[in-house]
Amino acid sequence: MNYLDCSMTEVVELLNSGKVTSQELVKLCFERIAETTDLNALNSTYFDMAMERAKQIDMARKNGEKLGCLAGVPIVIKDNINFLGTKTTCASKFLENFVSPYNATVAQKLFDEGAIIIAKANMDEFAMGSSSENSAFGPVKNPIDTYRVPGGSSGGSAATVKAKQCFASLGTDTGGSIREPSSFCGVVGIKPTYGRVSRYGVVAFASSLDQVGPLTRTVRDNAVLLNVISGRDEMDMTSSTTPVPDFTAKLEQGVKGIKIGVAKQFYTDKLSAEVRESLEKALAWYKSQGAELVEVDLPSLDTALAVYYIISSAEAASNLARFDGVKYGTRANNYQDIVDLYFKSRTQGFGKEVKRRIMLGNYVLSSGYYDAFYRKAKRVQKVIRKEFEDALSKCDVLISPTTATPAFKLGEKSNDHVAMYLTDIFTVPINIAGVPALSMPCGKNAEGLPIGMQIIGKHFDEQTIYQVANAFEQAHKEGV
Amino acid sequence: MSAYNTVIGLEVHSELNTKTKCFCACKNEFGDKPNTNCCPVCTAMPGALPVLNRDAVERAILMGLAVGCKINNYSVFERKNYFYPDLSKAYQISQLEYPLCVGGGLEIEVDGKKKFIRLDRIHLEEDAGKLIHDNAGTLVDYNRGGVPLIEIVSKPDMNSAEEAVAYLQKLRSTLLYVGVSDCKMQEGSIRFDVNISVNKEGEPLGTRTELKNLNSFKAVLRAIKYESNRQIEELEAGRPIIQETRRWDDEKGKTYSMRSKEDSQDYRYFPDPDLIPLEVSEEYIERIRAKLPKLSHQRVQEYLSMGLSEQDATLITQERSYADFFEAVLKLFNEPKFVCNWITAEVFKKLNAIEDEERTISVKPENLAVMLKMYKQGEINQAGARKIFDIIWEKDVDPVKLVDELGLKQMNDAGALKEVLVKIVNDNPKAVKELKDGNEKTMAFFVGQAMRATQGKANPKMVADIVKELIK
Q: Cα–Cα distance between A86 and A119 in angstroms, integer?
A: 8
B37 vs A: CB within 8 A: no
Q: What is the pLDDT of residue B456?
A: 80
Q: CB–CB of A51/A26 below 8 Å?
A: yes
Q: What is the pLDDT of residue B38?
A: 97
Both B422 and B387 in one domain: the answer is no
Q: What is the count of structural domains for chain B?
A: 3
Which residues contact residue B69 at a Cβ distance below 8 angstroms, ignoring those fewer than 6 apart? B101, B102, B103, B104, B119, B121, B122
Q: What is the three-class DSSP state of A324?
A: coil
Q: What is the pLDDT of residue B213?
A: 83
Both B380 and B461 in one domain: the answer is no
DSSP A358-423: HHHHHHHHSTTTTIIIIIHHHHHHHHHHHHHHHHHHSSSEEEEESSSSS--BTTSSTT-HHHHHHT
Both B154 and B32 in one domain: the answer is yes
Inter-chain CB proximity A235 and B81 less than 8 Å? no
Q: What is the pLDDT of residue A186?
A: 98
A204 vs B: CB within 8 A: yes
DSSP B177-197: HHTS----TTTTSEEEEEEEE
B390 part of a folded domain: yes
Q: Cα–Cα distance between B341 and B254 in angstroms, integer?
A: 42
Whether A444 is catalytic is no
Residues of chain A with pLDDT > 90: what percent? Answer: 96
Both B398 and B418 in one domain: the answer is no
Assess whether pLDDT exceeds 70 at residue A303: yes
B364 part of a folded domain: yes
Inter-chain CB proximity B51 and A327 less than 8 Å? no
The list of chain B residues with pLDDT below 50 reads none
Both B14 and B79 in one domain: the answer is yes
B54: left (phi over 0), alpha (psi -120 to 50) or beta: alpha
Q: Which of B72, B86, B98 is nearest to B43 (CA)?
A: B86
Q: How confident is the model at residue A322 (pLDDT cuts 50, 70, 90)?
A: very high
What letter would DSSP give residue B347? I
A326 vs B: CB within 8 A: yes
Task: State which of B405, B433, B453 marks the end of a domain.
Answer: B405
- The burial of A83, by beta-carbon neighbours within 10 Å (0-12 exposed, 13-18 middle, 19 or more buried), is given as buried
B146 vs A: CB within 8 A: no
Q: What is the pLDDT of residue B154?
A: 98
What letter would DSSP give residue B346? I
Both B362 and B277 in one domain: the answer is no
Task: State which of B355, B371, B405 marks the end of a domain.
Answer: B405
- Picking from A324, A343, A354, A360 by the largest number of B CB atoms within 10 A of its own CB, the best residue to mutate is A324
Both B383 and B435 in one domain: the answer is no
Q: Which residues of B touch A315 (CB under 8 A)?
A: 273
Q: What is the pLDDT of residue A358?
A: 98
Q: What is the pLDDT of residue A22?
A: 98
| Other beta carbons within 10 Å of A139 | 22
Q: How confident is the model at residue A416 (pLDDT cuts 50, 70, 90)?
A: confident
| CA atoms in the 13 A half-sphere facing the CB of A237 | 18
B208 part of a folded domain: yes
Q: CB–CB of A82/A117 below 8 Å?
A: no
Residue B214, beta-bridge partner list: B192
Q: How far apart are the first and last CA of chain B?
A: 73
Inter-chain CB proximity A324 and B83 less than 8 Å? yes
Single-letter residue type at A123: M
DSSP A34-81: HHTGGG--EEEE-HHHHHHHHHHHHHHHHTT----TTTT-EEEEETTB
B291 part of a folded domain: no
Both B102 and B219 in one domain: the answer is yes
Q: Cα–Cα distance between A230 and A195 in angstroms, integer?
A: 9
Q: How far apart are the first and last CA of chain A?
A: 23
For CA atoms A323, A327, A329, A334, the dihedral sign is positive
Closest-approach residue (CA) in chain A for B92? A318
Q: Cα–Cα distance between B418 and A6 in angstroms, integer?
A: 114
pLDDT in tens, A326-382: 999 999 999 999 999 999 999 999 999 999 999 999 999 999 999 999 999 999 999
Closest-approach residue (CA) in chain B for A322? B89
Both B183 and B331 in one domain: the answer is no
Q: Where are the alpha helices (DSSP H) in B24-77?
A: 54-66
Q: Which residues of A touch B88 (CB under 8 A)?
A: 322, 327
Q: What is the CATH number of the domain that holds B430?
A: 1.10.10.410
Q: What is the pLDDT of residue B460?
A: 85
B289 part of a folded domain: no
B391 vs A: CB within 8 A: no
Residue predicted with more confidence, A422 or B56: B56
Single-letter residue type at B415: G
DSSP H/E element including A14: helix A8-16
Task: State which of B361, B387, B405 marks the end of a domain.
Answer: B405
B290 part of a folded domain: no
Q: How confident is the model at residue A454 (pLDDT cuts 50, 70, 90)?
A: very high
Q: Distance, in angstroms, between A463 CA and closest chain B CA?
A: 26
Both B199 and B90 in one domain: the answer is yes
Can you list the domains of chain A with their CATH numbers?
1-480 (3.90.1300.10)
A104 vs B: CB within 8 A: yes
Q: What is the pLDDT of residue B345?
A: 93
Residue B454 sits in which domain range? 414-470
Q: What is the pLDDT of residue A314?
A: 98
Q: Cα–Cα distance between B207 and B234 in angstroms, integer?
A: 12
Q: Rounded to the nearest 10 degrees, what angle do helices A8-16 and A22-35 cross at?
A: 140
Residue B6, beta-bridge partner list: B198
Helix count and strand count (H, E) for chain B:
16, 17
Q: Cα–Cα distance between B368 and B371 in angstroms, integer?
A: 5
Q: Which residues of B touch A95 (CB under 8 A)?
A: 46
Q: Please state the pTM of the whole predicted model.
A: 0.91
Q: What is the pLDDT of residue B263?
A: 65
| Other beta carbons within 10 Å of A257 | 11
Cis peptide before A153 (omega within 30 of 0): yes
DSSP H/E element including A170: strand A168-173
Both B258 and B322 in one domain: the answer is no
What letter would DSSP give residue B143? S
pLDDT in tens, A125-183: 999 999 999 999 999 999 999 999 999 999 999 999 999 999 999 999 999 999 999 99
Both B213 and B84 in one domain: the answer is yes
